[in-house]
Amino acid sequence: MVANWKMHKTVAQSTAYVRELCRLVEQEPLPERVEMVVAPTYLAIAPVAARVRVVGVGVAAQSLDPGREGALTGAVSGYLLFAAGARYAIVGHSERRQQFQETDLMVAERVGAALDAGLTPILCVGESALNRERGETEAVLHRELDAVLGDLPRPAPHLVVAYEPIWAIGTGVAADPAEANRMAALIRRRVDEAWPGAGESVRILYGGSVTVANAAAVFSESEVDGALIGSASLQVQDFVTMARAGGIHQEER
Ligand code: PEP
């Protein structure tokens, strides 16, 4: 369960959130198979990581730049993020692809950089409304996956893939759970084709307007292992409620 805070929350607000998160999780532990991750801005990674470590909650960077150290003004590498306490990195979010012009090639480079730095990549893939209208959804998913899978020299054992249809992000219109499940199955198959045997272990999330109201329906689908949640994760109690909903279904499997 990943909370993507995007460009929200000051450092003080981020630490207040995780203080409350720790209190809620200590009061009632999360179901055993639930892994919870928060993705604050770069600024808050270190203070957030220092606080959540004790309750076993992970921290993700929302992006990263390739390389380790160097003369790259404004860049933040996986190495620096790992040192600050991050253990995951969201890569290829559609907002990065669309507003920061990150190409498939750049996404592949960042996935490799995340793995080199010891970070688990959370690779986002998904089609636009226009792709969907034109019946290009599967082709887009294959292209975005192949760019990364083909670029890595060997299977990445901890890879996480988030299916995030762009038309569902921040719109209040979530994908139909059965449709999300079909796309998750397609992603799993593609990973397995690239790296035989790896399809089973890759964790596949759904992202796009997940809320407290629809979380249980999303998680009831057999191919969906969790969720990447934007706006609905900004309220700590809601994020915990959605994580618990996910845990119930994980235990049922
Ligand atoms: C996201 O940012 O990845 C996302 C899924 O946002 P939201 O939950 O707000 O649609």
What are the mean pLDDT values of the chain's consecutive 10-residue runs (253 residues total)? 98 98 95 94 98 94 97 98 98 97 97 96 98 98 95 82 97 96 97 91 96 93 96 98 80 61
Q: Is residue 252 part of a domain?
A: no
Active-site residue (options: 95, 109, 144, 164): 164
Q: How many CB atoms lie within 10 A of CB 10?
A: 12
144 lines ligand 1 (CB under 6 A): no
126 lines ligand 1 (CB under 6 A): no
* 169 CA: nearest ligand 1 atom: 10
Output the pLDDT for position 235: 98
Q: Is residue 83 part of a domain?
A: yes
What is the whole-number distance in angstroms between the Cα of residue 69 and the centre of ligand 1? 31
What is the whole-number distance in angstroms between the Cα of residue 233 and the centre of ligand 1? 9
Number of domains the chain contains: 1
Q: What's the burial of 12, exposed, middle or buried (CB within 10 Å: 0-12/13-18/19+)?
A: exposed
Q: Is residue 250 part of a domain?
A: no
Q: Is residue 251 part of a domain?
A: no
Output the pLDDT for position 249: 65
Pocket test for ligand 1, best of 38, 93, 229, 233 (most atoms within 8 A of CB): 229
Is 69 a known active-site residue? no
What is the whole-number distance in angstroms between the Cα of residue 76 and the centre of ligand 1? 23
Measured CA to CA in angstroms, residue 169 lies from 5, 149, 191, 214 at distances of 13, 24, 24, 14
Output the pLDDT for position 253: 61
Measured CA to CA in angstroms, residue 218 lies from 74, 85, 181, 221 at distances of 37, 30, 8, 6
CATH code of the domain covering residue 217? 3.20.20.70
What is the whole-number distance in angstroms between the Cα of residue 153 and the centre of ligand 1? 30
Output the pLDDT for position 107: 97
Structure tokens at 158: 């901890």
Cα separation of 252 and 73, whole Å? 49
Residue nearest to atom 8 of ligand 1 (CA): 230
Output the pLDDT for position 152: 83
Cα separation of 204 and 122, whole Å? 9
Q: Is residue 253 part of a domain?
A: no
* 171 CA: nearest ligand 1 atom: 10
Is 179 a known active-site residue? no
Output the pLDDT for position 251: 59
Cα separation of 92 and 68, whole Å? 19
Output the pLDDT for position 137: 98
Q: Is residue 50 part of a domain?
A: yes
Output the pLDDT for position 224: 96
Output the pLDDT for position 158: 84
Q: What distance separates the 2 farthest-apart alpha carbons in the chain?
A: 51
Residue nearest to atom 7 of ligand 1 (CA): 230
